[in-house]
C-alpha cells in the first residue's frame, strides 16, 4: 500500500486544530465536539498503525521518504519501530480523555467577551501538540525530528500561560503572574536544550553528510562511518542535554513542578504523560542509535543522575502541600526509573523503560485528572483543605485511590510490570544501583498513601460536606484508564510482543548483550538409565 498512513495520522489532528480554531466565538460547544471527534479519528488511525505493524518484520515499517531540502540533505522520512508504535498509541489514546476532562476549563468566565475565543484556542492547541508529538515519534530524519521537537514548545507555552488553573489561593493578578512565570520557565529551559541540540544536529551533518537515522546507523554498523571519539561524545552530549531537559532529569527538572502546578489538570497530563515522553523516547532512538560508544561512555554518570531523580523526586513529593506539585515530583521520580532502564543496557531494562513510558502515562493521567476534578470542586490545590472526601464522594475517592496505587506500582496494576523489569534489568548489570533505586518504591508508597489519608479519610471538613461525586462525563473519562491499568497489569503481553524486537535492535546498536546468570545450574543425576540433564 502506498497510502501515507503515518503522515495522515500526524496531519489529522493538525487539520482538526485549524478547523477548531476557526469555529465562531459563539459556538463553543461545536468547537469542543469537533476537537473530540478529530482526536477519536486520530486514535482510530493510531490503532490502524498498530495493526499494520509486524513485530517480527523490518525494524522501521510503514516508511515514507521524500526529498525536502535537497541542498542540505534533509528528507521527509518517517518510519516506526515497536517503541514508536506504542507511544503513538499512548498519545492518541490520552488526547480524547484530556479533551473530555477539560471540557469546561477554557470557557470564559464573563459571557460578554464574545470577540475572544479562548475555548476554541484551548482545544486547537491541544490538537496541535498531539500532531507534533506524533510526528516526533515517526520521524527518522534527525532534522525533521528537531523541527517538531522544538515547535511543540509554542502551543505548550500558550496552554500553560494562557489557560492556567483557576484554583489559585492568591489574587487574580498573582495567579496570572505565576502562570506567566511557569510558562516562561518552561520555554526557556526547553529552548536552551534545543539550541544546544541544534549545534549537535549541525555537527552530525558535518560528520555524516546527511540527517537520515537509518542511513547513519547502517553506515556505523557497516564500519563505513567512523566518528572520532571526542566528536561522538560532544555530539551525544548535545542531544542528551536537550532530551534530559524534556524528560525531565535532575538537575534540569525544575520547570516541571511550576508548569504542572499552574496549568489546568488536563494540560498537566499533556505535559508529563505525552510531551515529556518525547525526551525519553529520543534517548532510545537517537542517543543510543547514533552514538553507541558515547552512550556507553556516559552511562555511569547518567545512572547517577537517574538515581538522584528517583530518590530526590520521591523525597520532595513526600513533603509537598500542593496536590498537583506532589504529582509533578512523583513524575520526576518515575522518569528517573525510565532513564535508569534505558541506560542499564539490558533488554529487560529497556523493555521495562518503554513499558514505563506507556504505563506512567496512563497512571498519571488517571491520578491527575481525578485530582483535577477534586480541585475544581473545592477550589484549592492544598492538601490541608481536604478531609473525609470518601464519605461524601465515594466514587471520586475510589478512583483517586486506584490512580494512587498505580502510581506506587502496586502488583496487579500496569506500572508494577514496567518498574519490576527496570529493576531486574538494572540489578543484573549494576546490582548496587538497582538496590538504591528500590528506595523509590518505599517512598512512593509513603507519599501516595499519606496523600490519600489526608484528603480522603478522617473527619469530613465543613467545606467538603456538599461536594458532589463524579458526574457521568467524569466517570467516562476515568473508567477506561482504570480498566487499562488493571488489564495491562494482569496481561502486558500485547505491549511486550511489540516492544521487545525493537529493544533487541537497540541493544544491537550499542553492541550489548544481557549479562549471563551468575548462579550455576547443577546437573540433575540420571535416573532409570536416562541421560543426565
Q: Where does residue 239 rank: exposed (0-12), middle (13-18), buried (19+ CB within 10 A)? A: buried
In terms of average pLDDT, the best of 48-62, 212-226, 366-380, 474-488 is 474-488
In whole angstroms, how far apart are CA 141 and each of 64, 80, 201, 249, 461?
11, 12, 11, 25, 56
Q: Is the peptide bond prior to 191 cis by the omega test (within 30 degrees of 0)? A: no
Q: Is the peptide bond prior to 382 cis by the omega test (within 30 degrees of 0)? A: no
**Mean pLDDT value of segment 383-410:** 89
What does the block give as the cell for 156? 505548550
Quick check: 113 pLDDT over 50? no
What is the band of 136 on the pLDDT scale with cuts at 50, 70, 90? Answer: very high
As a whole-number percent, the residues of the chain with pLDDT over 90 amount to 47
Quick check: 426 pLDDT over 50? yes
pLDDT score for 67: 84
**Mean pLDDT value of segment 110-135:** 78
Looking at the chain, the number of H-run helices and the number of E-run strands are 23, 2
Domain ranges of the chain: 5-110+117-509
pLDDT score for 114: 45
Quick check: 448 pLDDT over 70? yes
**Mean pLDDT value of segment 305-314:** 93
CA gap 105, 353 in Å, rounded:
33
| Positive or negative torsion for Cα 243, 247, 253, 254 | positive
Quick check: 23 pLDDT over 50? yes
As a whole-number percent, the residues of the chain with pLDDT over 70 amount to 93
Helix, strand, or coil here: 224?
A: coil
Quick check: 524 pLDDT over 70? no
Maximum C-alpha span of the chain: 93
CA gap 403, 395 in Å, rounded:
12
CA gap 7, 138 in Å, rounded:
9
In the block, cell 492568591 appears at: 170
What does the block give as the cell for 138? 515517526
Q: What are the φ and ψ backbone dihedral angles of 334, each rounded to 5 degrees?
A: -70, -35
Confirm if 122 and 107 have CB atoms less than 8 A apart: no
What is the band of 307 on the pLDDT scale with cuts at 50, 70, 90? Answer: very high
What does the block give as the cell for 304? 547517577
Quick check: 151 pLDDT over 60? yes
Helix, strand, or coil here: 454?
A: helix
CA gap 210, 204 in Å, rounded:
8
Helix, strand, or coil here: 164?
A: strand
CA gap 419, 444 in Å, rounded:
12
Question: How long is the chain?
Answer: 533
pLDDT score for 173: 67
CA gap 331, 309 in Å, rounded:
10
Quick check: 106 pLDDT over 80? no
- In the chain the first and final C-alpha atoms are separated, in Å, by 51
Number of other CB atoms surrounding residue 103 within 10 Å: 19
**Mean pLDDT value of segment 309-319:** 92
Quick check: 115 pLDDT over 70? no
Quick check: 458 pLDDT over 90? no
pLDDT score for 120: 85
Quick check: 469 pLDDT over 60? yes
What does the block give as the cell for 182? 511557569
Helix, strand, or coil here: 452?
A: helix
CA gap 80, 280 in Å, rounded:
16
Helix, strand, or coil here: 67?
A: strand
In terms of average pLDDT, the best of 23-32, 294-303, 376-385, 514-523 is 294-303
Classify strands 74-80 and 61-69 as parallel, antiparallel or unpaired.
antiparallel
pLDDT score for 242: 92
In the block, cell 547518567 appears at: 302
Quick check: 240 pLDDT over 90? yes
Amino acid at each position: 500500500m502506498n497510502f501515507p498512513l503515518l503522515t495522515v495520522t500526524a496531519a489529522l489532528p493538525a487539520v482538526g486544530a485549524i478547523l477548531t480554531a476557526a469555529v465562531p466565538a459563539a459556538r463553543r460547544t461545536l468547537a469542543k465536539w469537533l476537537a473530540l471527534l478529530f482526536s477519536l479519528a486520530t486514535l482510530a488511525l493510531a490503532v490502524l498503525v498498530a495493526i499494520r505493524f509486524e513485530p517480527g518484520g523490518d525494524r522501521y515499517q510503514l516508511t515514507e521518504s521524500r526529498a525536502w531540502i535537497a541542498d542540505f540533505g534533509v528528507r521527509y522520512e518517517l518510519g516506526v519501530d515497536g517503541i514508536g508504535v506504542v507511544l503513538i498509541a499512548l498519545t492518541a489514546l490520552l488526547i480524547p480523555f484530556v479533551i473530555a476532562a477539560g471540557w469546561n476549563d477554557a470557557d470564559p468566565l464573563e459571557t460578554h467577551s464574545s470577540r475572544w475565543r479562548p475555548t476554541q484556542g484551548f482545544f486547537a492547541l491541544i490538537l496541535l501538540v498531539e500532531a507534533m508529538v506524533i510526528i516526533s515519534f515517526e520521524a527518522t530524519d534527525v532534522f525533521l525530528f528537531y523541527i517538531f521537537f522544538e515547535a511543540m514548545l509554542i502551543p505548550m507555552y500558550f496552554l500553560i500561560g494562557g489557560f492556567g488553573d483557576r484554583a489559585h489561593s492568591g489574587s487574580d493578578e498573582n495567579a496570572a503572574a505565576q502562570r506567566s512565570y511557569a510558562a516562561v520557565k518552561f520555554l526557556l529551559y526547553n529552548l536552551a536544550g534545543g539550541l544546544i541540540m541544534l549545534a549537535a544536529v549541525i555537527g552530525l551533518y558535518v560528520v555524516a553528510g546527511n540527517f537520515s537515522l537509518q542511513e547513519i546507523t547502517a553506515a556505523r554498523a557497516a564500519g563505513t562511518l567512523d566518528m572520532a571519539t571526542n566528536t561522538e561524545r560532544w555530539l551525544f552530549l548535545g542531544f542528551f542535554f536537550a532530551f534530559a531537559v524534556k524528560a525531565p532529569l535532575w538537575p534540569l527538572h525544575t520547570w516541571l513542578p511550576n508548569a504542572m502546578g499552574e496549568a489546568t489538570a488536563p494540560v498537566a497530563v499533556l505535559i508529563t504523560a505525552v510531551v515529556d515522553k518525547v525526551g525519553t523516547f529520543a534517548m532510545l532512538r537517537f542517543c543510543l542509535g547514533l552514538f553507541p560508544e558515547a552512550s556507553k561512555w556516559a552511562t555511569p554518570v547518567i545512572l547517577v543522575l537517574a538515581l538522584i531523580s528517583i530518590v530526590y523526586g520521591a523525597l520532595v513529593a513526600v513533603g509537598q502541600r500542593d496536590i498537583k506539585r506532589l504529582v509533578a515530583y512523583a513524575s520526576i521520580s518515575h522518569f528517573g526509573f525510565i532513564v535508569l532502564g534505558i541506560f542499564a543496557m539490558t533488554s529487560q531494562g529497556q523493555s521495562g523503560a518503554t513499558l514505563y513510558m506507556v504505563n506512567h502515562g496512563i497512571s498519571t493521567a488517571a491520578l491527575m485528572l481525578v485530582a483535577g476534578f477534586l480541585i475544581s470542586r473545592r477550589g484549592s490545590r492544598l492538601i490541608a483543605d481536604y478531609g473525609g472526601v470518601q464519605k461524601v464522594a465515594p466514587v471520586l475517592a475510589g478512583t483517586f485511590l486506584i490512580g494512587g496505587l498505580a502510581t506506587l506500582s502496586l502488583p496487579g496494576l500496569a506500572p508494577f510490570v514496567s518498574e519490576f523489569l527496570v529493576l531486574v534489568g538494572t540489578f543484573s548489570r549494576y546490582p548496587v544501583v538497582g538496590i538504591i533505586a528500590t528506595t523509590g518504591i518505599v517512598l512512593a508508597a509513603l507519599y501516595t498513601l499519606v496523600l490519600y489519608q489526608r484528603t480522603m479519610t478522617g473527619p469530613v471538613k465543613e467545606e467538603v460536606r456538599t461536594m458532589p461525586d463524579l458526574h457521568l462525563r467524569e466517570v467516562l473519562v476515568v473508567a477506561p484508564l482504570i480498566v487499562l491499568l488493571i488489564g495491562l497489569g494482569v496481561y502486558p503481553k500485547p505491549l511486550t510482543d511489540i516492544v521487545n524486537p525493537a529493544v533487541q535492535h537497540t541493544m544491537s546498536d550499542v553492541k550489548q548483550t544481557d549479562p549471563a546468570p551468575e548462579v550455576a545450574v547443577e546437573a540433575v543425576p540420571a535416573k532409570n538409565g536416562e541421560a543426565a540433564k
